Amino acid sequence: MKIVAANRRARFDYEVLETLEAGMILTGPEVKSCRMGHVDLSGSYVSFLGGKPILKQSKISKYPFASGAFDYAIGRDRELLLKKTEREKLESLMTQKGVTIIPLEVHAGKFIKVLLGIARGRKNIDKRQVIREREMSKKMRKGEEV
């Protein structure tokens, strides 16, 4: 499957504990727009409404070649498709303090799928440590002295 959108900031701001894949309920023009890569996951998250997982604040741009009859709201809430056991597991994890569910990537193949990450927020000290480790690995690859 081709990755059409990635939430690069999420892996920096959060410590991803576990991942799972979910489907999304989309309209026709939204699917075409997703396949073109017009998806923005920054600032989006998953919440539960009536026991159903909902992807909030994700933006799928309007498909430029669609007629006016297929108009949709860019930032609307989108329902996710998960198995009942996965849904119950996510709902129970959401009750824990500091745990959130964030979208990491959107894949486009036969179906549009979203990779969800069960994550815990990082503190600024942890973020600095990540930057330090990344810089060290860059220097090691270049062959410089540490």
Q: Give me the domains of the chain, ranges plus CATH numbers.
A: 2-142 (2.40.280.10)
The secondary structure of residue 61, as a DSSP letter, is P
108 forms bridges with which residues in the sheet? Answer: 2, 112
Q: Tell whether the model's pLDDT for residue 24 goes beyond 90.
A: yes
Please give the model's pTM, rounded to 2 decimal places.
Answer: 0.81
Give the separation between CA 44 and CA 14, rounded to whole angstroms: 13
Tens digit of each residue's pLDDT (9 = 90 or more) over 45-79: 999 998 899 999 999 988 888 776 667 788 889 99
Three-state DSSP at 101 gives: strand
